[in-house]
Amino acid sequence: MNKGLLIVLSGPSGVGKGTVCSMLRHKMPELVYSVSATTRLPRQGETDGINYFFKSREQFQDMIARGAMLEHAEYVGNYYGTPRDFVEQTINSGKDIILEIEVQGALKVKETFPQGVFIFLMPPSLDVLKQRITGRGTESQDIIDSRMTVAAEEINLIRYYDYAVVNDEIDAACHRIQSIVTAEHCRKERYLASLAESMQTASEKA
């Protein structure tokens, strides 16, 4: 069985990662969504293993110590992160899994899982990005200015990614990402790796 792919989708705040990811999951129902782990308590209606993997602080710290997290961060007194086992079990079963994450988290994942497919979601321009953030109507001008400064810095990190997709129109952006996934599955390296594993298994049985 060919292994699945870990698809890492990231980009600056306000670029539309969540919206694109939601539409991708609608267009590609076979695509598994990466479930994060957290030490915060479940909220009403949340289910362990679906919304999050809920862990105690001791369990989470043990996972960090064992290298069982692809990335993690502490926010407002709670840990959040991506469990390695869930990702590896999914791709070993032949399914693709998508991780929607901020830029710094994506770069941490790349350090620990470089075989992933890293896609940077770009705004059509910084002006459009600012309009989108301003349109939320939830942030002050100081916060908007701060987000724009960070966005410019994050866009400079695009060199660490495999692909860049402009989110000018959601459906078009999803189509481009679907094309990337198809192309990645056709890489000769993946077939050669699968062939080598098959030959090794046949040799061991012989």
> Per DSSP, what are the bridge partners of residue 117?
7
pLDDT for 122: 95
How much is the pLDDT for 206? Answer: 65
* Domains of the chain, start order: 1-31+96-206 (3.40.50.300), 35-95 (3.30.63.10)
Angle at 61 between CA 58 and CA 62, to 5 degrees: 85
pLDDT digits (tens, 9 = 90+) for 60-89: 999 999 999 999 988 778 999 999 999 999
CA proximity to 40, closest of 50, 51, 54, 60: 54
Q: Mean of the per-residue pLDDT values for the chain?
A: 90
In this model, does residue 38 exceed pLDDT 90? Answer: yes
Q: Tell me the backbone φ, ψ of residue 38, rounded to 5 degrees.
A: -150, 155
78: three-class secondary structure by DSSP: strand
Sequence-separated (6 or more) residues with CB below 8 Å from residue 196? none
Per-residue pLDDT averaged across 159-185, rounded? 96
Q: Which of 89, 65, 97 is nearest to 79 (CA)?
A: 65
**Which residues 6+ apart lie within 8 Å of 60 measured at CB?**
37, 38, 39, 72, 79, 81
